[in-house]
Amino acid sequence: MLAVKMALDNAAYITEAEYLEGEKLAEERHEYVDGVVYAMAGTSRRHNSIAFNIAFNLRLASRDKPCDIHLSDVKARAQRSKAYYYPDVIVSCEQDEADEYYLEKPCLIVEVTSKSTEWKDYAEKLIAYQKLASLQVYLIVAQDQPLVTMYYSDAETGWEVARFDDLEQALTLPCPDCTLTLAEIYEGIDFTQPAE
């Protein structure tokens, strides 16, 4: 998703409370980073299909587990970064009742990236998400080729990274406890057509 800066450099600082209240009434979604609000552009059908495939398979894998899986309309609160983002998929498997509109304790976050957002997904959001004590896995999923970058928290070594680029490969996820193949992630996606 292309983020378009809404606040001018000299505009008044927007508090978190003002942002959250405004977002309840907004016709389009906005992300928030330390007082600045960014409008979110719409997504392509390919982007949406990939996010849906992931959420659908995670829901199937977590039917007997106390996990909540949400698509792009529930925010992640990255408190230490003073930010609120709309991940493409967000999962929480522990009680997280901070607010009806965002999660503070996600264990898995997925961003389906594009050329216009990959800098933010691999830099700003990666840093903010890794500060979440509850987060175990952050997936960045390409939409123009089979490619998933998995950042995962290791109790002994901190954050590690693995890349998957073969449709036969499977990711082992701790939250929810399941495997997810690239074939499931990219089901129905035609890579001979260019991504938008």
| Residue pLDDT, tens place only, 14-58 | 999 999 999 999 989 999 999 999 988 788 899 999 999 999 999
Considering only CA atoms, which of 188, 177, 123 is closest in space to residue 149?
A: 123
Asked if residue 183 lies in contact with residue 165, where contact means CB atoms within 8 angstroms, the answer is no
CA terminus-to-terminus distance, the chain:
10
Going by C-beta distance under 8 Å and a sequence separation of 6 or more, which residues neighbour residue 130?
138, 151, 153, 159
**What residue spans define the domains of the chain?**
43-185
| Cβ atoms of 151 and 133 closer than 8 Å | no
Longest dimension (CA), the chain: 50
Residue given tokens 């230490």 in the structure block: 80
Provide the residue type at 25 as one letter. Answer: L
Residue 11: per-residue pLDDT = 59
Confidence of residue 8 (pLDDT cuts 50, 70, 90): very low
**Mean pLDDT, residues 150-167:** 94
Whole-angstrom Cα distance, residue 189 to residue 52?
Answer: 12
C-alpha distance from residue 84 to each of 49, 52, 146, 161, 185 (Å): 23, 21, 28, 24, 25
178 burial type by CB count under 10 A (0-12 exposed, 13-18 middle, 19+ buried): middle
For the stretch 125-156, pLDDT in tens is: 999 999 999 999 999 999 999 999 999 998 88
Strand, coil or helix: what is 14? coil
Section 158-172 average pLDDT? 96
Residue 68's H or E segment, with its range, is strand 68-71
Which of the four CATH numbers 3.40.190.10, 3.40.91.50, 3.20.20.70, 3.90.1570.10 does domain 43-185 have? 3.90.1570.10
What percentage of residues in the chain have a pLDDT greater than 90? 73
